[in-house]
Amino acid sequence: MWPLDWSKLRDILVYNPEEPMIFNSGFFLFLFLGFSFVYMLLRKQRMTTLRLLFVSLFSYYFYYKSSGMYFYLLAVVTVTDFVLARQMSRTETPWKRKLLVTLSLCINLGLLCYFKYTNFFYEMLAPLWHGHFEPLDIFLPVGISFFTFQSLSYTIDVYRRSLEPLKNLLDYAFYVSFFPQLVAGPIIRARDFIPQIRRPLVVTNEMFGRGVFFIVSGLFKKAVISDYISVNFVERIFENPGLYSGLENLFGVYGYALQIYCDFSGYSDMAIGIALLLGFHFPPNFASPYKSDSVTDFWRRWHISLSTWLRDYLYISLGGNRKGKFRMYVNLIVTMLLGGLWHGASWNFIVWGGLHGVALAVHKYFRGFLNHSKQYHSVGLRKFWAVFLTFHFVCFCWIFFRNTTFEGSTTMIRQIFTSFHPELLGQLIQGYWKVFALMGIGYVLHWCPDSWQNACCRGMIRLPLAAQACVLLMLIYLVIQVKSSDVQPFIYFQF
């Protein structure tokens, strides 16, 4: 019997900033198998409290493996918002309720601002002390934007009296820390998730099959398509856009549009699939966003949990469309500017959000001018051009989202419009044929009818358990064959 190397085991179990735990890592797969075994032992209704405690502890360990000792922030947000919501339910005095919800906003947004935006605002104010700026050494905890927004939705709903506060801290800790969506969403509303917490644990064959389908789909999108085209093409273009022709830059933008969709929707799919295997239902977070025929339609399909959060808790709180058309347009732009800032402390993100905000306002204006209802969608050739223009506007905005500097963005745009060189197309395809093949597969799968995906899901559900396991193992083998030397983190971990 080989002696156990405790030092290696310790290195595996403790936090490593170079290898944060993510769904597509081998360590998570083995850990989840062990977790699932214990979870099923606790499936009986009389063990609900013990099961919730076990999952919460596992979720905190999952977050520790992603962000180290910063898991205490998760505990701070959980305890303070639980107590504040309970206090809100015990008072009928309007100003006290408003004070409590304001305190919740200050705590959550204060943490978010400190860890995410301190250096950004510090650099803006640097001219006040003769322009000297040296960034502070502040670590950005993974997923802080997600769990603070999720917890805020709970306290705001309690303040609005649309939700009764929980009486058990463990239930709330389970809701905030539930590991499938903890570090990169979706942002799950309390009113959707809380009723599921203490109901009998049931995982039907249909739920299990759908869960496996979503995990396989998400893993393929992330670990096969997104990672490969990123490492082998997209990163090279965006790191030095001036070294490449406009044609190469354009395909780099198309590649990034597919990469970020496959990366983020792949994570969401895996989160939804893992939750289904554990007996919980998450709402969809993506709905083929590049099929959109307007910017408004795009935000109904892209990162749905964030776009609806911004609509319900920011846009409506600013007045929505209740204070006149001009104010409505301003509210849209402000909402999207703040949505851009949510993604990161950079002027590039603010420009990205501002472009989308202006586009939303313009679309809203023309929709009213043409007397089109909210349900209106173009058809035929008009729909084709609407989808074509919307997709390319979104791709144009991705240039600012992906580049870290304005110089990089302007260089890329200049290369596309002044140094295109279409004669290089043959050489480009020949040199990057694997990348272009995966890009073709990715876009075809994205634009195929929804009925095809539903048929594949039903097919997975009908397969016996052994066949489902074989599909998953074959995909894992494919991932091993195409992956780079290092596991690529999810893009939205940085947000």
155 and 101 in contact (C-beta within 8 Å)? yes
Where a domain ends, among 167, 201, 235?
201
Could you please report the per-residue DSSP string of 331-345? HHHHHHHHHHHHH-S
User: Among the three residues 183, 201, 219, which one is the final residue of a domain in this structure?
Assistant: 201
Render each residue's pLDDT in the chain as its tens digit; 495 residues: 455 566 676 767 777 777 777 776 767 788 888 888 999 888 888 888 999 999 999 999 988 888 888 888 899 999 999 999 999 988 888 889 999 999 999 999 998 888 888 877 777 776 666 666 677 777 778 888 888 999 999 999 999 998 899 999 999 999 999 988 887 778 888 888 999 998 988 888 899 999 989 988 998 898 889 988 998 899 999 999 999 999 999 999 999 999 999 989 998 999 999 999 999 999 999 999 999 989 999 999 999 999 999 999 988 888 888 888 888 899 999 999 999 888 887 888 999 999 999 999 998 888 777 777 777 777 788 889 999 999 999 999 999 999 988 889 999 999 999 988 888 889 989 888 999 999 999 999 999 888 888 898 888 888 888 888 888 888 877 777 776 555 566 665 555
Question: Do 194 and 230 sit in the same domain of this protein?
Answer: no
Q: Indicate whether 240 and 117 sit together in one domain.
A: no
Contact 386, 216 (CB under 8 A): no
173: tokens are 């800790």
The 8-class DSSP code of residue 405 comes to: S
Q: Which of 343, 356, 363, 446 does the annotation list as catalytic?
A: 343
Contact 292, 301 (CB under 8 A): yes
Q: Are residues 193 and 265 in the same domain?
A: no
Residues 178 and 222 grouped into a single domain: no
Among candidate residues 27, 3, 32, 29, the one with its CA nearest the CA of residue 15: 27
Instruction: Clarify whether residues 38 and 184 are in a common domain.
Output: yes
Same domain, 277 and 386: yes
CB 345 within 8 A of CB 119: yes
CA–CA separation, 412 vs 367, rounded Å? Answer: 32
Whether residue 73 sits in one domain with residue 110 = yes
Task: Give me the count of residues in the chain.
Answer: 495
Specify the number of domains making up the chain. 2
Listed in sequence order, the residues at least 6 apart from 418 whose beta carbon sits closer than 8 Å to its beta carbon are 246
What DSSP element (H or E) covers 413?
helix 406-418
How many helical (H) and strand (E) elements, i.e. helices and strands, does the chain have? Answer: 22, 0
Closest-CA residue to 341 (of 84, 71, 149): 149
Domain that holds residue 250: 206-293+377-494
CB-CB contact of 39 with 52 (8 Å)? no
Give the C-alpha separation, 42 to 49, whole Å.
9
The DSSP code for 70 is: G
| 343 catalytic residue (yes or no) | yes
Q: Is residue 231 part of a domain?
A: yes
Q: At which of 156, 172, 201 does a domain end?
A: 201
Same-domain check for residues 197 and 256: no
Residues 27 and 70 in one domain: yes
